[in-house]
Chain A
Amino acid sequence: MNSYILGLISIYYLAFLFIVAYQAEKKSKNAKSIVSNPNIYALSLAVYCTAWTFYGSVGRASTDGLDFLAVYIGPTLVMFLAFPILLKIIRICKTQRLTSIADFISSRYGKNRSLGVLVTIICLLSGIPYIALQLKAISNSFGILTRSLLNSNILVDHTFYIVILLILFTILFGTRNVEATERHEGMVTAIAVESIIKLIAFLAIGMYVTYWLFDGFEDIYNKAKLLQAAKKNFVVENESGMSMWFWHTLLATMAFLFLPRQFQVTVVENVDEKYINRAMWMFPLYMLLINIFVMPITLAGGIIFNGQAVNSDMYVLSIPLHFSDESLAILTYIGGFSAATGMIIVETIAISVMVSNNLLMPIFLGIPASKDLINLNPSRVIQFMRRFSIALIIFLGYFYFKFITEKYSLVSIGMTAFVVVAQFAPSVLGGIFWKRGTQKGAMAGLVGGTVIWFFTLIIPSLVSSGVISDKIMTEGLFGVSLLKPYELFGMTGMDNISHATFWTLFFNIVLYFFGSLCSKQTSIEHNQAVLFVDVFQYSKGIENSVVWRGKALVSDIMNLLESFLGTSRTERIARVFATRNNINLNTRYADARFVNYSEKLLSGIVGTASARMMVSSVAKEEEISLNEVVEILKKSQELMAVNKELKQKSQELKLLTEQLQAANEQLKFTDKLKDDFLATVTHEIRTPLTSIKALSEILYDNEDIEHSERQHFLNTIIKESDRLSRLINQVLDLEKFESGKVKVAKETLNLEEIIIDSIESIEQLAKDKGISIITKIDKKLPKFEGDRDRIMQVMLNLLSNALKFTEGNKGTITITAYKQDDNLYVNVIDDGAGIAKQYQELIFDKFYQAHDQTIKKPKGSGLGLAISKRILELHNGEIWVESEVGKGSKFSFSIPIE
């Protein structure tokens, strides 16, 4: 195939990616984020499947059989464990505004700069060869398709131009915002699209091989059985194969978590923690799909090219070419190209942030002249550093590919990178679950692991390329036979990678734990340790990292923020923060929380270590003792507990207030009732008093008054006096009821007896008035419990009222009593004047003179009915009246039998 056409296809493909990314950025600016989608997130994780997967899986399957799957089983298991591990890391990064694995480790261990540098260097050591591997894959596939030889002159090497385009793309979509915490929506969308493309391409070639060239899986396996070389692919060879499977799975598990590109897409680019729910099954499914046809293709390649010197790494391209299916070959090329470019883009962005934040920025800030430049246009400076790092990393990868990998074996570059990245595992996993882990422990573990990695994997590769003598391989370091790189301490029977994995992690873990146990944490370390391990407790709280104590001018902090965020944004952020935390920013010195928050904001832009440097340059810090830190943390924890309690308390208080208000209303009401009652009583007392006084004065002043009239007046005085004393008794009686002093006796009573007794006591009065009394009392009324005197009082009251209101000489009073259900009923019926509707309720009230009420209730009822009502209430009974004006009234009461 013409290399220009293929070159054009590559450029068109990159142009297509540009458009995809550009559109996504545009949409995200219009707040219609594409990345805010769990599927995009899950697909972007498939950046894990690089050209190494696309081409290399087949190659590895042909040599190691089932083992090629270990690299995918490991990440699958990690994804299944996303809740306790990934989610925690994501939460920590969000609350601490961490943007890289270097930031993560340095921040966890006291924002230590040298740890950040070390991690960055390790990432570079793993990343550069890995990028080179991708470039080599692009170059090789290009070469196979165009059947051309590689050209060592970079100017005619098409890979060089692809590198330039990749640098442009990465700079364009990776450094849009200075704030690394802001997500690269365009880039992520492009990566997700690439994931789809490489999957489709691989499935296409897989189906082509399996169902077009062969008759399905069975056919391939049956034919492969005849090949001697393929035999080893059907089963895992003996125990070393099993141990290899185990170690490689473990290795992939850890590498998957901490590979810079993986950390970038999984943690930094995560928009919503809930997306994990989708990714934790969708990404494993992706890996399963992309691996289904690996073995068939491997075996098919073996069958097709039996005995020919065809690189198994390139079977996916060689097979369609062999059958002259060029379009399929191009599709495969594009799939491999997308796998490679995806990896390069994300890895570069991830490492460039680390390089600029942890290596370049601190060095730059150390230069005295840098201050002026930073002040001039800080975001420009950061952007430049980021871009410079991107170009540097990709070029380094290119040169590594161009001048080193051509001489060295590429086979284990991927796995070698995995081993060194796995060195982060003890520090990170220990860091999020174990508070005791210290800076010195982390440093010791990382350095130890890396040194062993260098010894067990890098030295041999240097030996095999002839850089150093192979004496070390056979005789060991300094001639000590226990120090052979592939048989450290005499350990044999493992493949190089498993061997290295074991020893690096062994030293790393041991050093990390013992280093931690043997060293003390500083206050800041302890603070960070608690914030990391207990992130789910603290991330909900307010700005709680209050360990920083010192003096910084508000204006200095604001200037610092302004130079990175711009004036308007800084002001907005400060205002929001001040309101949220109830801080006054108009003071001379800044509140510690604000300083802290500013540092966090800055660390999102320039990284933890640099942010710390900048803030300390404007602030005078005071060292806080560990005890104080512990106190502060304890307090903030208590505060949260108190807060919770407070919330509950305030809820209770609210309820109480409501109750109190109701009680108060009730009280006010009763108070008013009391007033009304007093007014009523006063009025009621004054009326007879007025008569008595007036008549007495008349009698006194008029000695010549007629005898009969005098008698009449005197009789009236006596009657009014009686009325007065009765009234006073009633008031006292009522008062007793009100204050609950009345205790009703519980005697067994006979209702009929009481009625007859009460009638007897008024019989004479009725006879005098000429009123007849009729009784209709059911026989055998059951007995009931109650207070005889009180029931008698009710009866008498009703009877005397009836007498009062019944016209003399022709009136009748009827008394009936009966049992219905569980109640005894008594009716006192008269044919007197009757009571108008509006008074029927009122007459049972103890007062009638409500404020402004000047209409009197029917005369004479006094307080008797009010008292009767209370007596019945004490007997759990009721009293009521039915009446019509002019026709008479029917007073009734009921008493329950039990």
Chain B
Amino acid sequence: MKQQRAIAITIFLVCLLNFPLLSLFNKTVFIFGMPLVYVYVFSVWAVGIIVIAIIAESKNVEETQEHE
């Protein structure tokens, strides 16, 4: 379960952090004085870390032992 969730999240993140989705935010727009694309990449990154942390640290009974 844990494994599947992590894989799904990662695939989603790969899409978010790549062309063409990334180019949607690749504009000379500033948020809080910072370029949009930086704010975007860092926020996606941070949210990804939080989500994965929640998944990884969850006490899953069948975790790591059964992977196949």
Query: Is B22's CB under 8 angstroms from A278's CB?
Result: no
* CB of B1, distance to nearest CB on chain A (Å): 11
Report whether B42 and A80 are in contact in the complex, using a CB–CB cutoff of 8 Å: no
Q: Does A12 contact B (CB under 8 A)?
A: no
Q: Is A280 within 8 A of B45, CB to CB?
A: no
Q: Quick one: which of A82, A88, A242, A288 contacts B49, CB cutoff 8 A?
A: A288
**Does A810 interact with chain B (Cβ within 8 Å)?**
no
Determine whether the beta carbon of B49 is less than 8 Å from that of A87: no
Contacts of A221 on B, CB cut-off 8 Å? 30, 33-35
Whether A69 contacts B41 in the complex (CB less than 8 A), given A234-B28, A280-B52, comes out as yes
Do residues A77 and B49 form an inter-chain contact, with CB atoms below 8 A? no
Stretch from A124-132, A149-157, A269-277, A486-494 at the B interface: A269-277
Whether B32 and A80, one on each chain, are in contact in the complex, defined by CB atoms closer than 8 angstroms, is no
The residue on B at minimum CB distance from A91 is B67
Complex interface: chain B residues within 8 A of A80 (CB): 6, 9-10, 13, 48, 52
> Which one, B2, B14, B38, B41, contacts A77 given CB within 8 A?
B14
- Hey, which chain A residues are within 8 Å of B64, CB to CB? 83, 87, 273-274, 276-277
Q: A205-248, CB under 8 A of B: which get 1 and which 0?
A: 00000000000111101100000000001111001001101100
Indicate if A285 sits at the interface (CB-CB under 8 A): yes
A277 contacts across to B, CB distance below 8 A: 56-57, 63-64
Q: Which A-chain residue is minimally distant from B14 (CB atoms)?
A: A77
Contacts of A236 in B (CB 8 A): 22-23, 26, 37
Docked-complex contact B3 and A83, CB < 8 angstroms: yes
Tell me the A391-415 residues at the B interface (CB within 8 Å): none
Determine which of B7, B32, B45, B46 lies in contact with A81 in the assembled complex, contact meaning CB atoms within 8 Å. B7
How far, in Å, is A346 (CB) from chain B's closest CB? 24
* A245 with B30, Cβ < 8 A, contacts A76-B45, A80-B10, A81-B10 known: no
A242's nearest neighbour on chain B, judged by CB, is: B19
- A390: Cβ under 8 A from any B Cβ: no
B57 to chain A, nearest CB (A): 6
Which B residues, 32 to 68, have Cβ-Cβ distances below 8 Å to chain A? 32-35, 37-38, 41-42, 45-46, 48-50, 52-53, 56-57, 63-64, 66-68
Question: When A217-B34, A281-B56 are in contact, do A249 and B18 touch as well, CB less than 8 Å?
Answer: yes
Q: State A821–B11 Cα separation when bound (angstroms).
A: 71
- The 8 A CB mask of A47-78 against B (1 = contact, 0 = none) is 00000000000000000001001000100110
Q: Report whether A83 and B67 are in contact in the complex, using a CB–CB cutoff of 8 Å.
A: yes
Q: B67 contacts A77, CB within 8 Å? A: no
Given that A84-B3, A235-B35, A246-B18 are known contacts, is A284 also in contact with B10, CB under 8 Å in the complex?
no
Q: Tell me which residues across on chain A come within 8 A of B17, comparing CB atoms.
A: 73, 77, 249
The main secondary structure of chain A at its interface with chain B is helix
Nearest-CB distance from B40 to chain A (Å)?
Answer: 10
Interface residues in A240-294 by Cβ distance below 8 A to B read 242-243, 245-246, 249, 273-274, 276-278, 280-282, 284-285, 288, 292
B9 to chain A, nearest CB (A): 7
By the criterion of a CB under 8 Å from any partner CB, how many residues of chain B are at the interface?
Answer: 39
Measured in the bound complex, the distance between the Cα atoms of B3 and A347 in whole Å is 30
Q: Are B30 and A284 in contact (CB-based, < 8 A)?
A: no
- Whether A235 pairs with B22 at a CB distance below 8 angstroms is no
Is A295 on the interface with B (CB-CB < 8 A)?
yes
Instruction: Report which of A88, A243, A282, A292 forms a contact with B67, defined as CB distance below 8 A.
Output: A88
Q: A272 — nearest CB in chain B belongs to which residue? A: B64
Q: Is A284 within 8 A of B52, CB to CB? A: yes
Residue numbers in B under 8 Å from A77 (CB-CB): 10, 13-14, 17
Given A234-B28, A280-B52: A66 touches B41 (CB 8 Å cut-off)? yes
A82 to B2, CA, bound (A): 11
By a CB distance below 8 angstroms, the chain A residues around B34 are 217-218, 221
Which residue of chain B has the shortest Cβ distance to A282 in the bound complex?
B53
Q: Quick check: B57 and A245 within 8 Å, CB to CB?
A: no
B19 pairs with A76, CB closer than 8 A: no
**Distance to closest chain A CB from B66 (angstroms):** 8
Question: Which chain B residue shows the least CB distance to A274?
Answer: B64
Residue-wise, chain A 282-320 has the 8 Å CB interface mask toward B (1 for contact) of 101100100010010000000000000000000000000
CA distance A277 to B55 in the complex (A): 9
Contact with B along A584-604 (1 / 0, CB 8 A): 000000000000000000000
Q: How far is A245 from B6 in the complex, measured between Cα atoms in Å?
A: 23
Q: Which residues of B contact A234 (CB under 8 A)?
A: 28, 35, 37
Say yes or no for A666: interface residue by CB 8 A criterion: no
Chain B residues whose C-beta falls within 8 Å of the C-beta of A536 in the assembled complex: 66-68
In Å, the complex CA distance between A219 and B41 comes to 20
Q: How far is the CA of A801 from the CA of B14 in the complex (A)?
A: 95
Residue in A81, A273, A278 whose Cβ sees the most chain B Cβ within 10 Å: A81
A613-666 CB contacts (< 8 Å) to partner B: none
Partner of B37, one of A66, A84, A219: A66
Residue with the greatest number of chain B CB neighbours at <10 A, chosen from A233, A235, A285, A537: A235
7 additional A-B pairs beyond A83-B67, A234-B35, A280-B6, beta carbons within 8 Å, are A83-B3, A88-B67, A217-B33, A236-B37, A242-B23, A273-B64, A280-B56
20 A-B residue pairs with CB within 8 Å: A66-B37, A66-B41, A73-B17, A80-B9, A83-B3, A83-B6, A83-B7, A84-B67, A87-B64, A221-B35, A234-B37, A235-B26, A235-B37, A246-B18, A281-B49, A284-B45, A285-B53, A288-B45, A288-B49, A534-B68
Residues of B within 8 A of A (CB): 2-3, 6-7, 9-10, 13-14, 17-19, 22-23, 26-28, 30, 32-35, 37-38, 41-42, 45-46, 48-50, 52-53, 56-57, 63-64, 66-68
Top 6 A-B residue pairs of the complex, sorted by shortest distance between their CB atoms: A218-B33, A281-B53, A234-B35, A83-B3, A80-B10, A242-B19
